[in-house]
Amino acid sequence: MSETIETDALIVGAGPAGLFAVFELGLLDIRAHVIDILPRAGGQCSELYPEKPIYDIPGHPLVTGQGLTDNLLEQIKPFNPTFHFNEMVETLTPTGTPEQPSFEVTTDAGTKFKAKVVFVAAGGGSFQPKKPPIAGIEAYENKSVFYAVRRMEDFRDRDVVIVGGGDSALDWTLNLQPIAKSLTLVHRRDQFRAAPHSVNALQELIAAKKVDFRLGQVTAIEGADGELSSVTIRGNDNVDTVVSAHRMMPFFGLTMKLGPVADWGLNLNENLVPVDTEKFETNHPGIFAIGDINTYPGKLKLILCGFHEGALAAQKAHRYIFPDKKLLFQYTTSSTNLQKKLGV
Amino acid sequence: MVKTSLYDQANRYGAEPGGGAPTKAKITFVDSHGQARTVEGETGSTVMETARRNDIPEIPAECGGACACATCHVYVDEAWVEKVGKPSQMEEDMLDFAFDVKPNSRLSCQITVRPELDGLVVTTPSQQG
């Protein structure tokens, strides 16, 4: 049994809304832990469009998804949040009263939290690998079909098929080729959207016939008891070829699933969490929802709205956490108290 | 994703230049089971937004139209391929993350509804994400 981590605020989701909530809570002396299923901060910004420019962040005529994430991390540094990456919140159990809320939270990694308020900033839910529509693939998943490499040794001396043409597909082709018995790369076109040095290295391996590159897609798999024996590749010329395969890795990016949020007793409206527009609180006192995951009349799924929502939710959170303290509204430009917290 | 928010965003970003009232174009969505639904799209909005506003199934459009997720994949009816046009390089790259991509594959968030697309027919694949 792991120890329970006690915190004032627990933020579910390290996208822009969750990160800026750390800032707004921090100004009010509320310390936060942040959980995210991804291995890094940034949410959709870092995962879906790290290089794409965003033009509608106030004060930033142009910033990339990764640039915005980096800036937010810099901005919240004074409040020293604790991040728990690669973890997904599974259960959220209320243990307090409406006046003095308290929650027990557990993650899929077994981490336990006790929090006074919870900010659900989970965007479209948790990111999970896209699973290709191949009949019967479930029976092979995590036995011989993998969406991520946990142990490279699982691929040694095996016939390996990798599907896709992005960075993940190329990185694992380059990494596994030296230890695999054979490596077949299947992609729909002969262009790769990956780092240039990876593409060059791959072209050399293909030219040296160390990687068998096939234009097309995997349409069927064969095997028994979860162990693959071959896959059928339908070429772009519509000709089917059966290739020996012990291991297959499809890399089609990530998709968002609402996941366990649906089981937390929150009202849901088409997979979104309804909130009021004064405090951005859910139907459960002490649980707030900010950013893309919430809904209210007039809601816009814009990053700037997530920032605003976090600021207002933090005010109400302060009343739960410090019921006896009067909240004075202050500006960072003029308040020496706030500036001290920011370390400036 | 919910239709109301996308509707609002379409109004915010997709207004016609010149302030004129948007014109309409009929778009037919055929789902993977063969069921056809014909709806009206406003010119200036996208085919994806038109689908979401009208509760068309099989187009989750997870990223909301940023050409960042490949979950609004459609097959353009052969008769319309030329008028609709080819995907941009960015869209081609994103199509790598769609399933069962064909020569007539497009991401519907990247097709802007225009008067000449009145009557457009697109089919949705059985699986997006």
* Predicted pLDDT of residue B20: 59
Q: Is the pLDDT of residue B21 over 70?
A: no
Residue B40 lies inside a defined structural domain of this protein: yes
Mean pLDDT of chain B: 87
pLDDT of B19? 52
Please give the average per-residue pLDDT across A326-343, as a whole number: 92
Share of chain B above pLDDT 70, in %: 84
Structural domain includes residue B36? yes
Count helices and strands in chain B by DSSP H and E runs = 4, 5
Is A253 close to B92, i.e. CB distance below 8 A?
Answer: no
For chain B, how far is it from start to end, CA to CA, in angstroms?
A: 14
CB pair distance less than 8 Å for B99 and A193:
no
Tell me which DSSP letter residue B80 carries: G
Task: Output the CATH code of domain A4-127+255-342.
Answer: 3.50.50.60
**CB neighbours (10 Å) of residue A300?**
14
Q: Which two tokens stand for residue A298?
A: 């007039």
Q: Using 50, 70 and 90 to split pLDDT, how confident is the model at A48?
A: confident
The verdict on residue B128 lying in a domain is no
Task: Using CB atoms, pick whichever of B5, B97, B100 lies closest to residue A253.
Answer: B97
Query: Average pLDDT in the B22-45 region?
Result: 95
Higher-confidence residue of A216 and B10: namely A216
CATH number of the domain to which B80 belongs: 3.10.20.30
ipTM of the complex: 0.79
**Chain A residues whose beta carbon lies within 8 Å of the beta carbon of residue B1:** 124, 271
> Rounded CA gap, A144 and A125, in Å?
27
Which is higher by pLDDT, A255 or B4? A255
Q: How far apart are CA B59 and CA A209, in angstroms?
A: 40
Ranges in chain A annotated CATH 3.50.50.60: 4-127+255-342, 131-251
CATH topology of domain A131-251: FAD/NAD(P)-binding domain (3.50.50)
Q: State yes or no: pLDDT of A52 exceeds 90.
A: no
Supply the pLDDT for residue B6: 44
pLDDT at residue B7 greater than cutoff 80: no
Q: Check residue B96 and report its DSSP letter.
A: T
Q: A48 to chain B: which residues are within 8 Å by CB? A: 63, 66, 68-69
Tell me the one-letter amino acid at B56. Answer: I
Mean pLDDT for chain A? 95
From the list B5, B11, B49, B52, the residue with the least C-alpha distance to A299 is B5
In this predicted structure, what is the pLDDT of residue A135?
92
Cβ–Cβ gap B4/A255 under 8 Å:
no
Residue B85 structural domain: 3-123
What's the structural domain count of chain B? 1
pLDDT of A54 reads 92
Tell me if A306 sits within 8 A of A54, measured CB to CB: no
Residue in B9, B92, B128 closest to A300 by CB: B9
pLDDT of residue A151: 87
Q: Find all residues with CB under 8 Å of A177, minimum gap 6, and list them.
A: A183, A205, A210, A211
What percent of chain B shows pLDDT beyond 90? Answer: 73
- Enumerate residues 6+ apart whose C-beta is below 8 A from A8: A25, A30, A31, A32, A115, A116, A117, A317, A321
pLDDT at position A17 over 60? yes
> Residue A184: what pLDDT?
98
